[in-house]
Amino acid sequence: MKIFDLNGTLIHEDEQALRGGTLKALDLRRSDLEKVEMMGADLSGSKLDGSSFDSSFLNGAVLRDVSLEGGFLSDCCLNGANLSNVDFYEVNAFRASFRGADLTNGKFLGCEFSEADFSGADLEGATFAPDNILHKTSFCGANLATATLTGATFKDVLYDDNTKFPAGFEPAENGFVRE
């Protein structure tokens, strides 16, 4: 599969690298990667700002130390993916699946996680807060019921009646604000 940026310029042409391959430290900014299968691919340290992964399969992918500003992950499957130490800014991950994913020590500012599934995901040490123009991160309708939230920081994060939390977790006492 050829990878093009959003201007139509060819930036990568290795079909084998997409599934389980190594794409470390690539500059894939503004790439159209919608509906691609990149299960197990290693994108560690890549620059993905402005890229779209809508409806893509990134199960088991390694996205450690990735930068994604203004990107799209709606309906994306990231089950079991390693997203540790990522820097997500204004990322739209509506209905994305992060089941069993590692989001430890990541920074998520102004992100949209409405209706996302975080079942069994590890969010320890991650920060969820508004971006610098005060767009709040949203977990409205998200499933956090079996996620590890210990050590995660939530500041002015939105939730609603459909958001599922772990038993005993008090959203208002942990930086969540009802929408």
Question: Residue 49 sits in a domain of what CATH number?
Answer: 2.160.20.80
Q: How far is CA 35 from CA 38, 52, 128, in A?
A: 10, 9, 27
Give the number of domains in the chain: 1
- The encoded tokens of residue 160 equal 């609603």
Q: Are 125 and 154 in contact (CB under 8 A)?
A: no
Amino acid identity for residue 56 in this structure: S
Q: Read off the pLDDT of residues 43-86 as tens digits, 9 standing for 90 and up.
A: 999 999 999 999 999 999 999 999 999 999 999 999 999 999 99
Residues contacting 10, CB < 8 A, separation 6+: 2, 3, 4
Q: What is the C-alpha to C-alpha distance for residues 24 and 34, in angstroms, rounded to an integer?
A: 19
Round the average pLDDT of the chain to a whole number and report it.
91
Q: Is the pLDDT of residue 4 over 80?
A: no
**Boundaries of domain holding 66:** 1-179
Q: Is the pLDDT of residue 125 over 80?
A: yes
